[in-house]
Amino acid sequence: EAGVAQSPRYKIIEKRQSVAFWCNPISGHATLYWYQQILGQGPKLLIQFQNNGVVDDSQLPKDRFSAERLKGVDSTLKIQPAKLEDSAVYLCASSFREREGFYEQYFGPGTRLTVT
Amino acid sequence: GENVEQHPSTLSVQEGDSAVIKCTYSDSASNYFPWYKQELGKRPQLIIDIRSNVGEKKDQRIAVTLNKTAKHFSLHITETQPEDSAVYFCAARNFGNEKLTFGTGTRLTIIP
């Protein structure tokens, strides 16, 4: 099966500019996640969608980050305005909820953002 | 919320020897514990997972053990090979909120 797709793969912007990332999950996966992975650290969940509804966005810096998942398929994550500390890899993942509630998260290749 | 600690942060092992990575978690409601392998510049990939109703799980050269009482779980890699060199992340998930919390990662280097 096709994997999780993300674009762009790399992005370099100046601080205070805006940027948007796109994710296309695996077909049929209702749950979609955006993670931020700073160099040398583990992925940190920013937002979780179930279909087109937000399940958890407690760690999303809402003053500058926004995300949407229209029609419950593709998703976009936006940063406006960007700060130097936003430099990281942004990973999108999706999962299919099994009957017992256990599932595997499949990750996309990520978007490496550099803010200068 | 859940807090996952992972040790060591770096590990060098002679090829053919075993490697052990340990994680502890704080939320007793966590019931699913996956391990991910991330090669340089690539996406994290699930290598093995364990659920809270099982104490040990093995898949060829890798195994995971879980001690619910002590709230810790470990990854064991035997007969290590150069291709095992990567960063390994443990994670814990609470069934109630389905949120996956990752550890800080272990950089494993296999010395030929």
pLDDT tens digit string along A1-32?
A: 579 999 999 999 999 999 999 999 999 898 99
Chain B CB contacts of A107 under 8 Å are 43-45
At A10 the pLDDT is: 97
Chain B CB contacts of A56 under 8 Å are 97-99
One DSSP character per residue, B9-65 reads: SEEEEETTS-EEEEEEES-TTEEEEEEEEE-TTS--EEEEEEETT-SEEEETTEEEE
| Contact predicate A3/A26, CB 8 Å | yes
Asked if B49 lies within 8 A of A108 by C-beta distance, the reply is no
Q: Which residues of B touch A (CB under 8 A)?
A: 4, 6, 32, 34, 42-46, 49, 51, 89, 91, 95, 97-105
Rounded Cα distance, B110 and B13, in Å? 5
Compute the residue count for chain A.
116
Asked if B99 lies within 8 A of A45 by C-beta distance, the reply is yes
Q: B11 CA to chain A: closest CA distance, Å?
A: 14
Instruction: Report whether pLDDT(B5) > 80.
Output: yes
For A35, other C-beta atoms within 10 Å of its C-beta total 25
At B17 the pLDDT is: 98
Rounded Cα distance, A63 and A103, in Å? 32
